[in-house]
Amino acid sequence: MTVAPDTGSDPAPGGASRFTDEFLEGLRGEGDQRADEAVKRYFDELGMLPADPLAAIARSGAPGLSDEEASGTGQFVRELEPWPGWVDRGLVERGQRVFGTWGLEFVAALWMAALPTTYACPFGAEPLVRTARLTQNPKRRYVETGQMIIDAMAPGALDPGRPGYSSVRHVRLMHAAVRHVLTHTETLPASRGVHVEPWDMAYGLPLNQEDLLGCLLAFSILSIRSLGQTGVVLDDEDAEAYVHVWNLIGYQIGIRPDLLPISAADATGIANTIFDRQRAPSDAGRELTASAIACLQGMLVLKRLRGLPASGMRHYLGADVADMLAVPPADWTRRIFAATRWFDASLNGALRWIPGHHSLLAGVGRQLIRGFEAAEQDGGRTTFDIPDELRSAWRVGGR
C-alpha cells in the first residue's frame, strides 16, 4: 500500500450562493484527474480497448495484482488516502449510526427517489444509459451501487484500507473508466457487437464534477427529504451528520473538496440549483427509469408488490417528474406509501427506540435488500454482503 498525496481543502467555501449556472457549467468539462490518469495509463499500455473494457478495469482493481499486471490502476486502488482535515470523525460515526437506524428506509428512498431524480437530468443520464448498453447487465449496476453504500455505511468502514474505503475507491476507478471508454469509442473492437455512438461534448465530460456532485446530493440530502415524505423526519443533528458522512464519501470518490456542502442547508440549496437547471425529459432518462423499474420488480420477493417501484417513484417524485420519466400509473401499492406517511409521522418520535422494524417503510426496504441478496450476477450468485451490525439492526436474517 502507498499513501496518496493529501489533496484536501475546505469544503464549499462561500456556501451555496456561488453555485450559479455559469459556475456549474464550468464543472461539466472537469473529471477526476488522478483517477483519469491511472485509467489512461492502463489503456495506453494495452493499446486497443479490450472487448469488455469496463470488466477489464474492474479486474485490474482486484487485490493482489502487481503494478506490472495492472499498470496505473493497481497502484491507484492500493493507495491509502488520509481523511482531509475538515472531516469530523464524530459526525462520520454519527452519520453511519443514522444509516444503521434508518437504513431500510434509506434503501427504499435511494432506489425509488434519489436515483430516478438523477435520471430526470438528461446530460447526467446519457453516460449512464450508454454504460448500461455496454455492460448489458443493468441489474449488476444496481446491486453494485447498493453494495458500495452498505460497505461505506458500516461502522468504521471509511477509514483508509477498510472495506468501505476500498469499495468507494473502486467505484471512483470505474467512473474514470467510463469517462475514458465513452470518449474513445472509436477504439472499441468491432467484435464487441454493441454500437456506441461517439460522445458529444455538448453533454459535458461523462460523469463530470457537476453530475457526480448531483448524484452525491441525491443520495444524501434528497434521501433525507424523501424519508420525510413518508413520515420519517430526522432531527437536525442527525441530518447534519448524514450529510457529513456523504461529504467524506464524495471526497473519496473524487469530487472536488471545495464543492462539498458544509451543511445540510447548503446541500439543499446546491441540490435545488442543480436539479432545477437540469431537469428535462429525455430518451436516456426514460430508458434508465424503465430499466430501474424492471430490475426492482425482479428483486421483489412478493410478486404482488410488482407495482411498488412505479407507485413509489410517483409518490416521491411527484406527477410532473414521474410523467417526464414515463413512470407507469400507480396501482393499489400506492396505499402503502399513504399508510407509511400516516403511521410513521404519528410515531416518528418513538420509532427510533423500537428495535428492528422502525417504520412501515422499513418493510419495503427489507423486501429490496432480500432481492439484492438473491439477485444473479454474471451468471452466478451475487456476493452481496451485509455487515453483521447492520444485519442485526435491520432484522435481516442470513441467506
Whole-number Å distance between alpha carbons of 199 and 159: 36
Specify the pLDDT at position 68: 54
Confidence of residue 70 (pLDDT cuts 50, 70, 90): low
How many structural domains compose the chain? 1
Q: Does a structural domain hold residue 231? A: yes
What is the chain's Cα-based Rg? 20
Mean pLDDT, range 27-44, rounded to an integer: 94
Least confident of 11-20, 155-164, 314-323: 11-20
Least confident of 196-205, 263-272, 373-382: 373-382
Whole-number Å distance between alpha carbons of 397 and 385: 12
Residue, of 285 and 371, whose pLDDT is higher = 285
Nearest one of 24, 57, 52, 15 to 261, comparing CA atoms? 15
Confidence of residue 187 (pLDDT cuts 50, 70, 90): confident
Residue 392: pLDDT above 90? Answer: no
126 Cβ neighbours under 8 A, 6+ residues apart: 203, 206, 282, 284
Contact 124, 234 (CB under 8 A): no
- Could you tell me what percent of the chain has a pLDDT over 70? 83
Structure confidence by residue, pLDDT tens digits, 124-151 = 999 998 887 766 666 777 888 888 999 9
Average pLDDT taken over every residue of the chain:
85
Q: Does a structural domain hold residue 324? A: no
3-class DSSP assignment, residue 80: strand
Three cell numbers, residue 211: 453530475
Mean pLDDT, range 156-164, rounded to an integer: 95
Whole-number Å distance between alpha carbons of 222 and 269: 11
Q: Does a structural domain hold residue 359? A: no
Torsional sign, CA 389, 84, 237, 264: negative
Q: Does a structural domain hold residue 326? A: no
**Residue 260 CB neighbour total at 10 angstroms:** 28
Contact 209, 256 (CB under 8 A): yes
243 Cβ neighbours under 8 A, 6+ residues apart: 95, 220, 221, 224, 261, 263, 264, 267
Q: Does a structural domain hold residue 17? A: yes
Three cell numbers, residue 313: 417513484
Domain that holds residue 25: 2-279
Owner of C-alpha cell 400507480: 330
Q: Does a structural domain hold residue 322? A: no
Q: Would you give the DSSP letter of residue 49? A: P
Nearest one of 386, 381, 396, 307 to 139, comparing CA atoms? 381
- Which CA distances in Å does 291 have to 148, 247, 367, 385? 20, 29, 18, 23
Q: Would you give the DSSP letter of residue 356? A: S
Torsion angle (degrees, nearest 10) of CA 168, 170, 173, 174: -100
Residue 1: pLDDT above 60? Answer: no
- Could you tell me what percent of the chain has a pLDDT over 90? 53
Whole-number Å distance between alpha carbons of 73 and 326: 39
Least confident of 37-51, 100-114, 301-315: 37-51
Q: Does a structural domain hold residue 389? A: no
Residue, of 306 and 367, whose pLDDT is higher = 306
Q: Does a structural domain hold residue 299? A: no
Confidence of residue 378 (pLDDT cuts 50, 70, 90): very low
Contact 367, 302 (CB under 8 A): yes
Confidence of residue 162 (pLDDT cuts 50, 70, 90): very high
